[in-house]
Structure 1
Amino acid sequence: MASLFYSLIDQTREFLHVTETLVPSVGEYLKKEISNHVAGWTEDEETKKLKLAILKTFFNVECCVSGTHSMDLVALAPFGEYTVLPGLDCTFSGGYQGLTDRIMSSLPEDVMVFNKPVKTIHWTGSFQEAAFPGETFPVLVECEDGSCFPAHHVIVTVPLGFLKEHLDTFFDPPLPAEKAEAIRKIGFGTNNKIFLEFEEPFWEPDCELIQVVWEDTSPLEDVAPALQDAWFKKLIGFLVLPSFSSVHVLCGFIAGLESEFMETLSDEEVLRSLTQVLRRITGNPRLPAPRSVLRTRWHSAPYTRGSYSYVAVGSTGDDLDLLAQPLPAEGASAQLQVLFAGEATHRTFYSTTHGALLSGWREADRLINLWDLQVQQPQPRL
């Protein structure tokens, strides 16, 4: 079933330069092809049901990868534009702050300002700053606490989910209609991690992944049970993290509306539900409960409102490029007032850390090139 599923995923990437697709989404294409395969299966009904249940698990895995509730929401035609970076995933010791600390290490200590949530970015203006008498600035960054920062340029790197929620108030004047429409059309979903810590491992020493298959589920059925009864069935399983200092941790992944519902539960409720799941899949009703749980809550977080972007049905890679374009539009008299970076602005590496990093370098280069040109221009003689 894994070979079948991933061969079909490979096929979905072949529609990149096709002028018209028979179905709009990756999910609909996968289901159509799977239906064709099912028609040729010759096993007994129980075996067929189990094969479909396994395929449903792979659909859930792909939802986690794409950060979407359903593959029916992911556009088919541009799906092949996403590029997988070669090599292994890199885990930063000490977390992501290791990356930002490294970036900041070359900067003077007093240039970074923290805990200043931004309320509105005012652009195409003429703002003054007491420290620079006689100079005007086209941009004013207004913070939630009332403080303001005038600037020549601002690079906006907030997640797409935040932009979607605050589109009407975050920019003054409002964004051009086509850029605002791109923000609305690009998909942005939730993929959360749930870490479970155990006193002792119940898995084999060489186990790396515990994958969960729920019988009586199928990608060809659109039955949606109540979230409170079955949210955990969207969980794709658990990654076994490397043990250290006698710490034994499983990391579960869950995407979509079920993931967002999980965020509304207490730690105790999550722990209780997942303990029952683990007892069921191991067949051990006395399996000790995890001693602690830690989880992400990307959808609830006010400055993210989700995890990362995908190209949704109704959008294309052109929308990501449009989101990345600076303001005012080219040809306007004021240069590069508002620039945009972040994973949702990278056409081929969206949803990734390297996409976010590269987009930041892209906008930094844009400003460097602008100022280099201005420095190189001959100065008027007195």
Structure 2
Amino acid sequence: MHMDVAARRGDCIASRKCGIECRSAPPELSVGRVFRKKFLQYMNDSETEHPVRRELKKAMYHWVLRWQRIDNACNSIKELSANCWGNYIFCDGNENMNPKAGYISVLGSILEESRADLRLNSEVSSINYATEVVVKNGSLFRPDGCTLPVIVKCRDGREFEAEHVMVTPSIGYLKAHPNLFSPPLPQGLQKAITSTGFGTIDKIFLEYEQPWWPEDCEGIQIVWTKDIPDFDKVVQRSQLVDGTVEEMKQFWVRAISGFDPVFNQKAMLCGWIGGAEAEYMEKLSEREVGEACTQLLRRFLGRSDIPNPKRVFRSQWATDPFFRGSYCYHSLGCECLKEDKEENHLNTPVCAGMSDGHKVPVLVLAGEANSKCYYSTVHGALQSGMKQISHYIQSTTRSQWATDPFFRGSYCYHSLGCECLKEDKEENHLNTPVCAGMSDGQKVPVLVLAGEANSKCYYSTVHGALQSGNETNFPLHPKVPQVHQTGISLWAASVGMTPAVSVLCCHSIIVDATHEQGDLQIFTFHIHINTVWLLY
């Protein structure tokens, strides 16, 4: 007897941890072929079972195919490479974590601790990168010595120059915009993009006034036992297992795997759909989507009282011009993850040549598709970005301290006959303050030097420069409160960071006002700066 079945989540779940060993598979072996071979073997081993039970097993098998094509964002799991199947790694801990304010809250937290200049609504039209560069004052430039290696042009006419650029679009966007880069990306990188699969998975949210499902419901999974949709083929034709071909307007709901209650929402279900049917769904109105889902639920649950949702929300990744799909999968013929084929790997940096034959990275790609173990996930994308930036950190860009007019060299050394650090030769010591006389015969310091060369023990280092600045305490006139000595000491410390951060050229320090506070006379200082250099 045939029947429609609504199975709760957990009745049959097949995942990337299915236990099928695929690492030694032939090059063109697909995940779909492995699944089918194992299932047919399983069915052959249970030939004596009751026909109804065998039909249910067949129905569950086709549900698994449907779920796997959704989970992997492909049209058929026969498109998936069995060689790459075992690369995916599940994270430990809670698999379901939902930020209360959405992913924008994650971005907000990052920006709170960043000085990034975030430009929204700035669609990029082209990225031009240099193939040859020169080093000038520690920075990379095009051979003209004025223009930075990468020029990013936006559709609104704005242009941005940069030494290095990280580009993070989806693989779908890169496939749809092969002319985004000028000159074109290296052949190996282009092959890595074209050989990486990219498809669609969408969510359909149905919001109700009140939940009509049981409080302990964990999900409603749609298992067809008659009119079974056939997702066991690479080319999809809205076809049933029995060979019947339906129109897409009737067929698309058969691609929905099920509906789950949404965490932290009072009365909302989330439906899952993928492949060409998801792309069709995106073009329907929200009313049409809600009505079709309602009819599907009524049919499988045998309840005519299920109401239409009051609101419908759905993702539209395929029709979004900046995504063109959801996330990647590793298709047949994929070579991007072979360790010995780095030239075909998405993580390969685009480099520019230097006159001495060295190459330096000027452009890298990053995103979920770059992650070997966590592709298709947000944490995979984040990890990829952190990994790809290391190409720039480890690049061999040469410094030019000697020709830099603001340094004229790197750091100090103590030469023959050096007396600057002898304790009994204070007049020759770099830490000796420059003083001015007062009418009462006392002297007050008006200028001090600080930096790595002032440090007796840590010269040539950044921490030596910092220590030098912190140890430069002005022995001020007795009437000047200690708090101001501390303030000037901190100012001196900032001057002491010259080897690494900045140079402040001080013009004067003027006491321009005093006022009484109890028995204490307070001085107000103005520090006049005539030059600020931000060095590299």
Per the normalisation by structure 1, the TM-score is: 0.88
Is contact 1:122-1:171 (8 Å) kept? yes
How many residue pairs get aligned? The number is 369
3-state SS of paired residue (1:233): helix
Question: How many angstroms does 1:336 deviate by?
Answer: 1.4
Pick from 250, 255, 268 the counterpart of residue 269 of structure 2. 250
Could you say which residue in structure 2 is the equivalent of 1:336? 361
Q: Is the contact between residue 66 and residue 231 of structure 2 (CA under 8 Å) also seen in structure 1?
A: no
> Contact 1:126–1:136 (CA<8 Å) still a contact in 2?
no
Superimposed CA distance per residue, residues 109-141 of structure 1 (whole angstroms, 9 cap, x where no aligned partner): 7x11111111111011689xxxx9963211110
Q: Distance in 1 between matches of 2:151 and 2:363?
A: 10
Greater per-residue helix proportion:
1
Structure with more strand by fraction: 2
- Which of 252, 264, 278 pairs up with 2:283? 264
Q: Distance in 2 between the 1:75 and 1:270 partners? A: 33
2:105 alignment partner AA? G
Partner SS for 2:351: coil
Per mean C-alpha deviation after superposition, the further-off stretch among 293-302 and 201-210 is: 201-210
1:29 to 28, 34, 46: 34
- Match in the other structure for 2:423: none
Which secondary structure state, in structure 2, belongs to the residue aligned with residue 162 of structure 1? helix
| Equivalent residues of 1:55, 1:219 under 8 A apart | no
What's the counterpart of residue 181 of structure 1?
191
Which stretch has the larger CA shift, 329-338 or 342-351? 329-338
| Equivalent position of 1:101 in the other structure | 108
From 222, 227, 240, the equivalent of 1:212 is 222
- In the alignment, residue 228 of structure 1 is paired with which amino acid? K
Residue 160 of structure 1 corresponds to 171
Correspondence 1:92 to 2:88: no
CA-CA distance at 1:67 after TM superposition: 1.4
CA contact (8 A) 1:125 1:137 kept: no
Of 38, 47, 66, 2:43 maps to 38
> Cα RMSD between the aligned structures?
2.8
Please give the alpha-carbon distance, in whole angstroms, between the structure 1 residues aligned to 2:162 and 2:231.
Answer: 54
Quick one: structure 1 residues 367 and 221, their matched pair in 2 at CA, closer, same or farther if it must change by over 3 Å?
closer
3-state SS in 2 of match to 1:140? strand
- Of 325, 335, 340 in structure 1, the residue corresponding to residue 348 of structure 2 is 325
Deviation sequence 1:166-209 (CA, Å, 0-9, x none): 01x10100111221111111000100000001112121111111
Using a 3 Å threshold, how does the CA distance of structure 1 residues 243 and 182 change in structure 2: closer, same or farther?
closer
Name the larger-Rg structure: 2
By how many angstroms is 1:379 displaced? 4.3
Residue 358 of structure 1: how far off its partner (Å):
0.5
Distance 1:35 1:43 in 2: 14
* Stretch moving more, 30-39 or 213-222: 213-222
C-alpha distance in 1, partners of 2:156/2:68?
41
AA matched with 2:295 = Q
Match of 2:256 among 235, 251, 262: 235
The structure showing larger relative contact order (alpha-carbon pairs under 8 Å, at least 6 residues apart) is: 1
Alpha-carbon deviation of 1:219?
Answer: 6.2
Partner of 1:143 in structure 2? 154
Name the CA distance, whole Å, in 1 between partners of 2:11 and 2:302.
28
Tell me if structure 2 keeps the 8 A contact 1:192–1:253. yes
Go from structure 1 to structure 2 and tell me whether the alpha carbon gap of 1:279 and 1:162 turns closer, same or farther (over 3 Å shift): same
Matches of 1:165 and 1:57, distance apart in 2? 31
**Is 1:200 equivalent to 2:210 in the alignment?**
yes
Deviation at 1:286, TM superposition (A): 2.8
Alpha-carbon deviation of 1:46?
Answer: 3.0
Provide closer, same or farther for how the CA distance between residues 35 and 8 of structure 1 changes in structure 2, counting only shifts above 3 A.
farther
- C-alpha distance in structure 2 between counterparts of 1:180 and 1:166, whole Å: 12
1:349 to 1:108, Cα distance in 2 relative to 1, 3 A: same
Task: Give the gaps of 5 or more residues in structure 1.
Answer: none
